[in-house]
Structure 1
């Protein structure tokens, strides 16, 4: 989908009109879990764990990023930071620039754990930039999805981050599309998060170039069933989360996670690798089911108390996606 303006060459950036200085906006973006077993590159679930970004426009001529929370060690503190980079590129895409930027980020989403931290950063930058534009120049929802997905390279995390709940994404021609599905209130996501990051690119590199028609057909049926299970009948979640496309191939890159997931499934829990891993997602049914899943995770990891190199998080489905507004106070 073409934007209203092509992104300008670097030499032309200074010729762009600047957005108004003195603006102060706040963006919150939820974590996401993609794939969800058979929904490879198509399904994503928004979770109630969110990053917060405050953006102020200045006349300083520089970009400064101050970050606290998860994964901040070693992150850039200038325009190379992913939130700032996404913000600046979005302004340029819309035919604008900023004379100066100050960003304060509070990272709650674990980095490199298959919980959509990079998508959250991209969505935060894109939405912040859109809010800084004059109202008549702002991008609509379809354009925001297309642009954020083009930065990320795929839509399955940015779509639920933008819209909340469950997002089904696909590519049509050169455009990314997505639709939102309400999730049944009994679905409770339980995450087992290891103290070990994994690159999405590294995990994707383990996938074979093709799979059999039998595997593809099996996955298509389970993915369709998963949409129904999440939206209408959570009792089907165990069968619906069976995957034949990607998890076994990636297991060698995250053996403890794969072992945990298999142990949970052997015990009857609807468990999958979250995104590209290495976190393990269990889609429990009700609070009692979530408690049982937590107990099972702890038992499989260490016969009781959770080992120090794992965290167990009982979350909820985020019914709303990213929010942006004027910072107050």
Structure 2
């Protein structure tokens, strides 16, 4: 009996000692895990998608990487995360400008590194691309929330910024003598120039702008044209074209012919009917162009005048827009000759 009690006592003592050793080891391990240290971030300035490398010590087991301007997380592969280095990319959604990147490991210990995100403005769409003084234009794209200036390219004339968000910028256009211009847009990261070209309606030869040009008259058939103020691109009115017969035609006739030599393009806007329609467009009954008009939206059309000049049209006398098949009502605005 004594020998059994003695064996049990020895076993209990061994377990107690073993437990103390395990606790001690864990405490020693926790106490020995140092805070992560950053030595170098390369590069220190870059745009979305760029690969960055942070070198230092105790960088293993990172849980998150966050760009602190807007708390934008960066995706990273733990396979490329060692005690000495972390490799990751600048998120495409990172906000531009100077900021910190915060690295946090599984223990909640962090290190901050200064970085500058290059996020130049981008413009994917612009509506409308015609303007007069006071016209409101909406630009969509990216990195537009920090835009500080919008200038007509080649001038010092600034547009007025009405509102700005990351993906949308609304501006009011200034008065300007330019025929056409791109926009030069500046934000916290730098400056870019749009690919979109904006046409100054008041500098163009307007066959229709708010009303039919004084040197032009309406010779249309199976069609009634009236000015309407309810829906327009710029100015005060567009032209409502109510086609009343199959294959009806808009025929605008110049009492004084317009010499085409100074001009490069003919442009116009059409707002479609309730269904898609096909139309034939030409100048002086020459060189038909087939248009597809989407329903219920304004669509911009721009033709190089060489299409007609090379076919012998030197002076513009007739502008034709004939509807295919069944009649519908459409809207037209800013029928222009543009230099």
Q: TM-score interval w.r.t. the shorter chain? A: under 0.3
| TM-score, length-scaled by structure 2 | 0.24
Q: Which has the larger radius of gyration?
A: 2
Comparing both structures, which one devotes a greater share of its residues to helix?
1
Say which structure, 1 or 2, has more relative contact order (CA 8 Å, 6+ apart).
Answer: 1
Comparing both structures, which one devotes a greater share of its residues to strand?
2
